[in-house]
Chains A and B, each alone.
Chain A
Amino acid sequence: MGLQLYYTLVKFGAESALGTAVALSLIRELGPVLTALMVVGQAGSAMASELGIQRNDEQIDALQTMSIDPLGFLVGPRLVATLICFPILTAIFDLIGIFGGYLTGSVLLNVDSGVYWNRVFESVTWADVQGGYIKALVFGLLTISICAYRGYNTHRKASFPGVRGVSESATRAVVWSSVTVLAADYLITSFLM
């Protein structure tokens, strides 16, 4: 990305703006969105299929007969974990991205490193960071809800019983989560701007 931006910026003789471009696009948009998509692909699909298997194996029914709330017991801890992890992962993603921008921009190409870091720190405001966190939290909440819903309702939603139903649930969970993340990103951005 640093590379792409550099070549675009060079055309306008504005390669010194690389730091600004990298930092803002990462913190405002790409960090939360790409992190969410990555987590959906990994953890979201895993959760949907786990819940689907537990549904098929009657483990969810078993909880119900033990008077344990299945949603609270199975989804609750994951929800908490997601709300903690999403912002952290997003922050790590942002930092690595910005550092990557520095590597391509200053080490490989010839943007002055002082200028790069200066632009990064100058351009990013507290509001940008906050906006990124809001996105991360909302994406976390949305994706876990969708994946949990899909897995939990495997017996009702999937068109096949058994293993195929589980894989269908996992696929649907990923597709719907990803689409929802992108749509939500658009909405939140238009509210925050």
Chain B
Amino acid sequence: MDSFLKIRGLKKYFGDNRVLDGIDLDVTAASVMTIIGKSGIGKSVLLKCIANLLQPEAGIIELDGQAISQSRRNAQIDAGVSFSYMFQNNALFDSLTAFENVALPLREASKLNKAEIQERVDEMLVHLELSDSADRYPGELSGGMKKRVALGRALITKPQVVLFDEPTTGLDPERKFSVFEMIADYRERFGFTALLVSHDIPEVFEISDQVAWLDEGQIKFFGKPEDLNTNAQSALSGFLSKANYGLKSSPLNGANE
């Protein structure tokens, strides 16, 4: 099994707080890996280490067989892999409209001309049901709308690797479903490799090839979503049962197959 994203022995401490304490993880090319775990356990920190926004204390991160060097600012570019990150708090530019936010990565970091950008962003906004709000500023959008703008900004460049940090938190069930569908759809069309953090258990398993459970600084479970039920350690099943993911199969599983 060829892993596109490979992590070995990743450690990240904040003072005495050993947030990540030896993470090993493999994500296959064009697959979706979901990371689950308690709030505050270090899921966002893990994504930021991969995105080179935080410097880990130790460990190797390889993208497509190339170690990303932590000293360089655009490590992903060095590795020749296009890359995007959807932040947990969206990180939209509040002085730019929804349209301009989605268009930003194309305007500043691609060679597309104005008409091409317009067309692509318009199409994206239709997908996101945001066409009516294209000219509004983030301050004038609801939380869920902001999430969708951030999703649009992350997908507009057709990246090879996407890190999603809680893309559906705070959305109503219908929108949640459509965001997951959109991620699945884009992945089918462009074949990206995704690392996804989500608390939306079990819905997120629908689009996940692999699930990793992060606890106490390490990946304590790793495997297919189906195996969660059978292989679960007691702590993991405790976590899952609180997330309403019991031994019975989820209603979504039945509905969609």
Asked whether A68 lies within 8 Å of B108 as measured between CB atoms, the reply is: yes
Interchain CB contact (< 8 A) of A59 among B48, B91, B157: B91
Interchain CB contact (< 8 A) of A67 among B87, B93, B109, B153: B109
What is the CB-to-nearest-CB distance from B167 to chain A, in angstroms, rounded to a whole number? 15
* Chain B 78-97 residues near chain A, CB threshold 8 A: 83-85, 87, 89, 91-93
| In the complex, per-residue mask of B96-110: 1 if CB is within 8 Å of any chain A CB, else 0 | 000000001100110
Chain A interface size, under 10 / 10 to 19 / 20 to 34 / 35 or more: 10 to 19
* Chain B residues with a Cβ closer than 8 Å to the other chain, count: 22
Q: Which of B51, B74, B91, B104 is the most central at the interface, judged by chain A CB atoms within 10 Å of its CB?
A: B91
Asked whether B53 lies within 8 Å of A61 as measured between CB atoms, the reply is: yes
What is the CB-to-nearest-CB distance from B59 to chain A, in angstroms, rounded to a whole number? 20
A57 to B91, CA, bound (A): 6
| Residue ID in chain A nearest B156 by CB atoms | A66
Report if A160 contacts B (CB, 8 A). Answer: no
Kindly list chain B residues whose C-beta atoms are within 8 Å of the C-beta of A65: 51, 53, 76, 83-85
* Chain A 47-81 residues near chain B, CB threshold 8 A: 54, 57-59, 61-62, 64-68, 73
Asked whether A66 lies within 8 Å of B89 as measured between CB atoms, the reply is: no
Interchain CB contact (< 8 A) of A68 among B51, B52, B76, B105: B105
Asked whether B77 lies within 8 Å of A67 as measured between CB atoms, the reply is: yes
Report if B18 contacts A (CB, 8 A). Answer: no
Asked whether B109 lies within 8 Å of A58 as measured between CB atoms, the reply is: no
A37 to B52, CA, bound (A): 38
Residues of B within 8 A of A (CB): 48, 51-53, 73-74, 76-77, 83-85, 87, 89, 91-93, 104-105, 108-109, 153, 157
Given contact pairs A61-B51, A65-B85, enumerate 19 new A-B contacts (beta carbons under 8 Å).
A58-B91, A59-B93, A61-B85, A61-B87, A61-B91, A62-B85, A62-B91, A64-B52, A64-B73, A64-B74, A65-B76, A66-B84, A66-B104, A66-B157, A67-B74, A67-B83, A68-B104, A68-B105, A68-B108
Q: List 18 A-B contacts (CB under 8 A).
A: A58-B89, A59-B92, A59-B93, A61-B87, A61-B91, A65-B51, A65-B53, A65-B76, A65-B83, A65-B84, A66-B84, A66-B104, A66-B109, A67-B74, A67-B83, A67-B109, A68-B105, A68-B109
